[in-house]
Amino acid sequence: MIPRPDNTETMVRDYLDGTLPHAERGAFLHRLRNDPAALDLLAAHAMMDARLRQLARGDRPVSQAPAPVRRRRWQFVAAAACIALSTLLIWRVAHGPAEATYTVSPFTQYSLEGPTGEPGRLALGGTIELTQGAVDIALPTGVKCIATAPSRITLKGRNELEITDGLAHFQVPESGKGFTVRTPDLKVIDHGTEFTIDAARPGHHEAHVLRGKIEVRPLADQTAVSTLTDGQAVRLDSGSLRPMATESRRFMTRLPEGLPALWFPFDPGKSGDLPVFGSLAETAGVSVLPPSETFRKPEIVAGRSGKALRFPDNHHSLQTSWPGVEGTMARSVSFWLRSEPGSEQGIYMPLVAWGLPAGPRSMGIFSIELGGKTGNLHLRIASGRRWLEGATVLDNGRWNHVVVVLEGHRPGKWPVIKAYVNGSSEPLVHRLPEDRDAAPLDSFYTVVDDPRSVPLTFGRFNMWREYPSQPWEIDEVVIAAGILLPQQIEALHSGSVDNAGLAIEPTHHQNAR
């Protein structure tokens, strides 16, 4: 009886049927060369297929019990043929054309540079650049890379990639051992493993090993080699590699089913907590933090859909563990808002914010606010004591749907920001304070890694300023790491979060009418 190692028979059948994924063939052929039992199993199945084909053609059936010499001869021929085929295919894996395949997630925006091949294929020297979304790249050696925007990836060889900016996760089979990935700061050589690269911050690139082993070399000093194994990680700091805690959750290991996003329905769970949904919640481990001693917890009230948060005044705040979208990356924020006119005259109410509050020094925070006089409050997108202001009155006592989309950054000018209120485009006007300095426009960069940075926060986010406010409520907050398209905005406005093309798990959440 022929031994059948775990999963081997399935791989043999898939291989003979031509359905074994291309990325797994190299590892399978390598196993055939080193596993006699697997090779015997392949030979047996190949002979069985030949017999069935003979019967289907009406040929003379092959004896069910051939003479031992004849059986050994046929098995030897089949095995020899398999070895020859395996050797040929392994040679092709190692020396054939250098071309990778790629698949992008829905609503991904990308461009190709350099040598171009067929759609879905990346030729040697070709580059794919993501401005939003994610890509799955399969190298001819079986290496699999999942990269998230913003990122720029170049195929440098059959078993080598170059990554500029962004986050990437690598799965390296036995056939891809020796895989090399370069960033502007690091060179990483694989020794059969699963690892990740963070190339988002220039001069501070990171490498994390989930399992296996890699070598990490700073490009400025390739003699300074660090060998990392399971659970180890390093970050480049001042030209040297420093050990750090491994963080695996912030790296995507599979393509999301839509635009990466967070969703806060504000409907308490069975234990009273406020759950967070979406692919960004999964990778970043996002949660709502307990209330601090400084600010009060907002109230849970009936919302536009299920429950909502109510902020009676500016002494209430809800903070999360998510640092927010960094730098000049595209982002979209969608929510429902309700407020009624109060008794104060000049009103300033932060709604959703994250980043580094730096006053007039830099535009390091990204803040969506309401401002103006009571009964005439307008939407504001503020940073560095500058803001863009809308025209629609939002403290009218009704639920209003608000969407803010940062599409890109123009050095020396306001970022390209669009707003929508109740499904319609909202005109925005640049504003400056009359009696205070404002940060230079070229300083726009949302800072999320400074110890003073504020993570995603609803309501008041700082202690240094008192300001008048009035009660307001917020519901169904969605934050996407990319640009929401018009059809997605319409889906959110109609209350169909599940059909908005976002990477959030389906729910049975019923929207209010």
Instruction: Please spell the DSSP secondary structure of 44-91, one letter per residue.
Output: HHHHHHHHHHHHHHTPPPPPSS--HHHHHHHHHHHHHHHHHHHHHHHH
Could you give the 3-state DSSP secondary structure of residue 144?
Answer: strand
Quote the longest CA-to-CA distance of the chain: 102
pLDDT at 305: 92
pLDDT at 413: 87
Distance of CA 275 to the CA centre of its chain: 20
pLDDT at 60: 43
Look at the alpha carbons of 236, 242, 248, 254 in this order and tell me if their dihedral is positive or negative. Answer: positive
CA 420, CA 395: separation in Å to the nearest integer? 16
Q: CA torsion angle for 341, 510, 320, 293 (degrees, to 10)?
A: 60
CA 242, CA 239: separation in Å to the nearest integer? 9
**Cα–Cα distances in Å, from 375 out to 45, 52, 82, 254, 352?**
79, 82, 80, 48, 21
Whole-prediction pTM: 0.69
Residue 384, Ramachandran bin (φ over 0: left; ψ between -120 and 50: alpha; else beta): left
Q: Do strands 160-164 and 180-182 pair parallel, antiparallel, or not at all (unpaired)?
A: parallel
Closest of 490, 322, 331 to residue 415, by C-alpha: 331
222 and 180 Cβ atoms separated by less than 8 Å: no
159 and 190 Cβ atoms separated by less than 8 Å: no
448 and 469 Cβ atoms separated by less than 8 Å: no
1: exposed, middle or buried (C-beta count within 10 Å: 0-12, 13-18, 19+)?
exposed
- Which residues does residue 383 pair with via DSSP β-bridges, in sequence order? 386
pLDDT tens for the chain, 513 residues: list them: 333 345 777 777 766 666 666 556 656 665 665 566 666 677 666 656 555 544 444 544 333 333 333 444 444 444 444 554 444 444 444 445 578 999 999 888 899 998 866 889 999 999 999 988 899 999 999 999 999 988 999 999 999 999 998 899 999 999 999 999 999 999 999 998 899 999 988 888 999 999 999 999 999 887 788 999 999 999 998 888 999 988 777 788 888 888 989 999 999 988 888 999 998 887 777 888 887 778 889 999 999 999 999 999 888 999 999 999 988 888 999 999 999 988 777 888 999 999 999 989 999 999 999 999 999 999 999 999 999 999 999 999 999 999 999 998 888 888 999 999 999 999 999 988 766 789 999 999 999 989 999 999 999 988 767 788 899 999 999 999 999 999 999 999 999 998 899 988 644 333 333
378 and 390 Cβ atoms separated by less than 8 Å: yes
* DSSP label of 474: E
Cα-based angle 221, 225, 229 (whole degrees, multiple of 5): 150
The b-or-e profile of 402-433 (16+ CB within 10 A means b, else e) is bbbbbbebeeeebbebbbbbeeeebebeebee
pLDDT at 435: 64
- Determine phi and psi for 357, rounding to 5 degrees: -70, 110
pLDDT at 89: 44
pLDDT at 287: 86
459 and 348 Cβ atoms separated by less than 8 Å: no
pLDDT at 235: 93
pLDDT at 271: 84
Could you give the 3-state DSSP secondary structure of residue 29?
Answer: helix
180 and 187 Cβ atoms separated by less than 8 Å: yes
- Determine phi and psi for 191, rounding to 5 degrees: -125, 40
Beta strands per DSSP E along 221-358: 226-229, 233-237, 240-244, 259-264, 299-302, 307-311, 317-319, 331-339, 346-355
143: exposed, middle or buried (C-beta count within 10 Å: 0-12, 13-18, 19+)?
buried
Q: Do strands 213-218 and 226-229 pair parallel, antiparallel, or not at all (unpaired)?
A: antiparallel
CA 116, CA 370: separation in Å to the nearest integer? 48
pLDDT at 417: 96
Q: Residue written as tokens 């907050």?
A: 477
pLDDT at 16: 67
